[in-house]
Each structure stands twice: as structure tokens, then as C-alpha cells.
Structure 1
Amino acid sequence: MKKFGLIGYPLSHSFSGKYFQEKFEKEGLTDCSYELFPLETLSDFEKLITSNPDLCGLNVTIPHKIGVMFYLDKIDPAAKAIDAVNCIKIIKQKPVESFFTGELSSTKVRLEGFNTDCYGFENSLKPLLKKHHNKALVLGSGGSSRAVAYALSRLGIDYKIVSRRKARKQITYSDINRNLMSDRLLIINTTPLGLSPAVETYPDIPYEYITSNHLLYDLIYNPDETEFLKRGKEMGATIKNGEEMLHLQAERSWEIWNNG
């Protein structure tokens, strides 16, 4: 039996658990299972690995995407640049027989970290991009915004990160005016504003300056149309939620676990 799972805390509304269980049933993968491992801290991480010898891969969610990097043997360049890991490949290294005693060494486990959020975002965004979507506003400065920024850099899109507080290489919401909105026609929400159950909340930007040339992308997928997206849609903008991004990052995790 191949076991996969998700670590984080809390895990009450896990996308990954439901997604992979449905995938296994649909594809007839009866030798695979996916479990939730709610770890409030990472102090039990090593115990989790050693007590689950069938574990082949893990997804990682908040609050452990940064802290878990300390436990890994290798980190993919993208994950290192983003400074966050959301996918771990667990490689079992077979025991070696001692030439002198004939005894077998203990099974060693190698842990490799990846970031599939940037892959999911980039590949869900690309089909929607037009020539004028060459400059972006990234709303929020948390971990998700780093994955988005990395993907935008790969796509050659200039971006400004918008934060509640002034910081180096960042602007604040009060800095967003008509000129900035007309110059940056791609706007990405990486904040939790609008996430269920607080569906009435939304980022504080001047929506009256949004046009049909704008593309608004929200990493949130529940609800499927946030207030941020609704307001953009009312002004004629193209809108996109984060559901496809999640599907793509999950499938990329599956590829990493099984092929590399």
C-alpha cells in the first residue's frame, strides 16, 4: 500500500484529502491511500515519518510551509527561491548488507521538498494572458504572494506587491490610484479577504478604475466568485478563481511523488 498525506493545522477543510480520495477511486488506484495528519507543531514530524513506513509523499499546508524545510535533505530551486515547501517526496533507500558482518543497515529515508503552488498558478494563468497583461498588482505579502511573484517573474511580468504596511519594494493600498490601475491590468488577490465564511470582505482597491482590459485572479476558490471577482466582473473584467490552480498543483505533486 502506498500512503500519501497532508500535514498542517487545522485541516478541517482540506482540499487535498477529498481530491486525492476521489482521484484514487476514479482511476482504480486501490493500492493508494491519502490521510490527514493534523500537526499543530513540527515536533512530531520525524516521528510521523518513521511510524509510517508506507508513506511516499506529503503535501504541506499552513503553518508549516517554511518550518518543514529544516527537516529536508534537498530543496528544489523554485521552493528555495520562494522560501516555502508544499510538497515532499519521501524516498526509501534500501538497506545495505555489510561485507564483514552480513548485517543489513537500517532503511534510510530521504526527504525532498518542492513548491507546486507556483506551477499551479502559472499554468492556470497562462491561457488567459494577453499582450497587455504585462504588468501586475499582487495583493498581499504573505507566503502565497511569494509563489505568485516567482511565477510572474518566470512569465516576464513586472509586478508590484501591495501590502497593508509600507515595506521595501512594496506599496500600500493607499498608493493605488487611477494611473496605477490603468498601467497594471493584471490584479491577483493572495489575501484571505473574501474567503468563506467572511464572503462579504474584499481587498480595498479602487474598483471604479477597472476596465474590460483587466484580468482579476483570486487564489480563493470558496466561494467560487468572491466579492473581489464580482466587483471586477461588474466592470467588464475577465475573472478567474483558484480552483484550477489547486487541481494543477495537486497533479504536479502526484507526478513528483511517482516520477520526480
Structure 2
Amino acid sequence: MPFSSVKGTAIFRKIHNTQPLIHLITNPVTMNDVVNLVLASGAAAICADSPLEAAEISELADATVLNIGMPSESKLEAMLAAGKKANALGHPLILDPVGAGASEFRRRILQTLLENLHLTCIRGNQSEMAALLGMSYPSRGVEEAGICLEPALLQKLAERYDTVLAVTGDTDITVSKDQVLVSHTGTPLQKRITGSGCMLSAFLGAALAGSMTPPAIPGERALRLTDTAEIASLVHKTVEVYSSLASQAEAEMEASSRHGTMEFRSRLIDIVSTAGL
């Protein structure tokens, strides 16, 4: 079944035309899949989590994605250096607050990042957003803990940090201080593999970088970091496209009578790799 979404075609066309380089300071548990997803989308990837080179690598890149999946003091130092460089250059900066409420250490790291960096987008589940709001709840590690926040609370969080939230789960919600956009695509299989959210955060980095890099197509303009409404719209479309491709991967599995979570993971990356062709 060919991928024919007009929204998706535009996103992938811009990524393929600009071939942005994405700096990933990410979770080693999911790093291989995250890099492969970025490559499949038409972008390039580089992973550098040493404080000795993080800023230099972000200077080379077109977007930076910060994922706190396995936090450390050294990684925090690298994230701050990379994030500040991305901010100085006007590059997209995405935060994935994995397991935000699981420990006091993670909460402290996130507070430091939020206080010192301007984030273009924060991508996480409802529980992670609750932790960023300072709410306490019984943590389930990096898994969603069954929390459902009112849109008004999410808008306050977006306004507090002048950012766009991509809140993913059974229902995907994109939130800025001025709007709430809802999508109902996707498949439960996304929760049954590790890295589905990490891959989406990186894909958001590629989509934002592809739209902010000076375009190669006459008549198109580069998105600016100050275009909050347009950034929210692009984030919403990107999440929607990713979830739709996940649904397509599930459908292809069913049609081929091949089942299993690892089959789904491979098909998802394969479908992303052909979506823009």
C-alpha cells in the first residue's frame, strides 16, 4: 500500500531536498533504531554525548535532539553545551524527557535544561508532561502511568517554556499556548517496542530542520523559530504522519501473516525509508 498523504509527502520532500544533519544526544538503549529512522527519513545523523565535542557537533548540525533516557552528569553537561549552541545558531532544539518522573535526578536534569535552554519542541507522554508540571504520581519507570492532563494545563506548560508540546499516547496532542491539535492515528504496537517515542523525537528534529533549512525549491521559504503557530502545525502533521506510517506497518504485517514486535519495528523503519520516494 503506497504512502500517499499530501501532508506526509511535503514533510519528506523537504527532508530529502535539504538532507539536514541531526545531532542526537540520545538513549543508548534505542540509539541504533533512532539513527536508522533518521537515515530512513532522508536526513543524516551524528551522535555525540561528550562535553568535549557536543557544542562543536551541534554547530555542524541543522537540529539537535536531547533524550534523557539514561542520564548522567556528563551527559547533562553535553546537553547544555549542545543546546546553547543550537539556540545561538537558531537551530531547532527538541527535548525528549524520557521517564521524567522516575527519579529526583531526572527531575533535576530536566529542570536545569528547561531553565537554561529554549526548546523548539518537547515530545513526551502524558506522565512525562505531568512531571514537567511538577505533579507527583506513582512512577512506572519510563512507561506512561495512566495520567490524562487537561488541555489547559498543557497549554500553561507550553506557555511557561515558550515551546510546542507533542504529547503522544492513545491520542496524540500538539499544544502551544494558543492552540490544541488532536490526532487519533497510530497503533498499540508502538507501545510494545522500545524506542518508538525516541524515533519520533528524532523524526521531529528532521522535519523541523528540513523546513528551517534554506529551501532548494524556488518559491518555498524557510520556517523560522519565531513562527510558533506554523511550528505547532508542522509538529502536529509530523506526529500524524509517523503514527499513520505505524498503522500502515501494522496493516502490512497482518496482510503478510507475519506477526511480532520486532517485525513491526523493522517494517516501521522500512516504510519511513520509502515514504518520501
TM-score, L = length of structure 1: 0.34
Q: Whose helix proportion is higher, 1 or 2? A: 2
